Amino acid sequence: MDPKARQVALRKLPYGLFVIGLVDGDKVGAFTAAWISQCSFEPPLVMLAVKKGSLGHAMIEASRRFSVNVLAADQKEMAAHFFQQRPRSGNKLGAYAFTPGSGTGAPVLDEAPAFAECQVKQVVPAGDHDVVIAEVVAVTVRRDAKPLLLQDTGFDYYGG
């Protein structure tokens, strides 16, 4: 397989950008994710690819819960902010305020137009990532917004 052709072809797949909220005991964190999709209507399930060896992976394995914060098209800076680990200060992760979710306790960003809280059901090994399959246990829509797409940001995280 031609590596350049593979990269070009895989970069044509559309992805949204989301901030995944994490909680494990007193520890709270978040990371930006692109590889997430709904995979079942009943029960409502999502699948999330998480890089093996990452702090996010460790926290999801330990707590078995997370939040999916949907970002709006004008929230590119928020997505970039969570490419790195951000320290918690009170009810903020870095520059962004959060509230513990009512369904899981995982942080939900106050500026996210919508979010889902999820309980892990299964973790499936998949190359350099694991696929986390989780049930949606709570959702909130605060406002209608066009979602932030990876292709619209100029960021690259696929097609390697």
What 3 state SS string does 122-134 have?
EEEEECCEEEEEE
Q: Are 30 and 82 in contact (CB under 8 A)?
A: yes
**Confidence band, pLDDT 50/70/90 cuts, at residue 149:** very high
Domain locations in the chain as residue ranges: 3-151
Question: How confident is the model at residue 127, as a pLDDT?
Answer: 92
Percent of the chain with pLDDT over 90: 82
* Assigned CATH for 3-151: 2.30.110.10
The Cα angle at residue 97 between residues 136 and 17, in degrees rounded to 5: 50
Question: How confident is the model at residue 39, as a pLDDT?
Answer: 96
Q: Are 105 and 65 in contact (CB under 8 A)?
A: yes
User: For the whole model, what pTM was predicted?
Assistant: 0.93
Question: How confident is the model at residue 100, as a pLDDT?
Answer: 97
Question: How confident is the model at residue 14, as a pLDDT?
Answer: 84
